[in-house]
Structures are given as C-alpha cells and as structure tokens.
Amino acid sequence: MGEERKEVPVPIAVTPPEHRKLLDRIKVMDDKVEFVTGELVQRQGEKIGFAIGLLYGLILGIFVFVLFLI
C-alpha cells in the first residue's frame, strides 16, 4: 500500500525522412497503377457491352422480321 507508482513516458516514434519519401513514391506508383487498371477494365467493359448490345439487336431484329412475315 505504501508503493508509489511511477508514470512511464509514452515513447514517441518519429519516422525518418527517407521512409516518408518512400511512402510518397509508393503512393504515386499506386495511383498510376490504379488509373491504368481502371482504364483497362473500362475498355474491357465497353467490348463486352458492345457484344451484348449486338446480340440483343440481332435477336430483336430477327424477332421483328419474323413478326412481319406472319
């Protein structure tokens, strides 16, 4: 009961400037990779959308053609 508790100071971590520069470079590279990936996925989506639209148009055209034959 007579023991006194000492307050231990909280250690403060300071990042070196090289680490900050490295993180900044990694962030820039990550942004570039994310942009290129988004562009590639968008192009792939446009190709798939074109194919699906072509199929729907073909099916609708055949359906209308059959309706006018009757």
Q: Work out whether the CA dihedral 19, 20, 22, 27 comes out positive or negative.
A: positive
- pTM exceeding 0.75: no
- DSSP secondary structure, 7-35, as one string: PPPPP-----HHHHHHHHHHHHHHHHHHH
Judged by DSSP in three states, 49 sits in helix
pLDDT tens-digit profile of 14-35? 678 888 899 999 999 999 999 9
Task: Please tell me the predicted confidence (pLDDT) of residue 2.
Answer: 56
Where is pLDDT greater, at 42 or 12?
Answer: 42
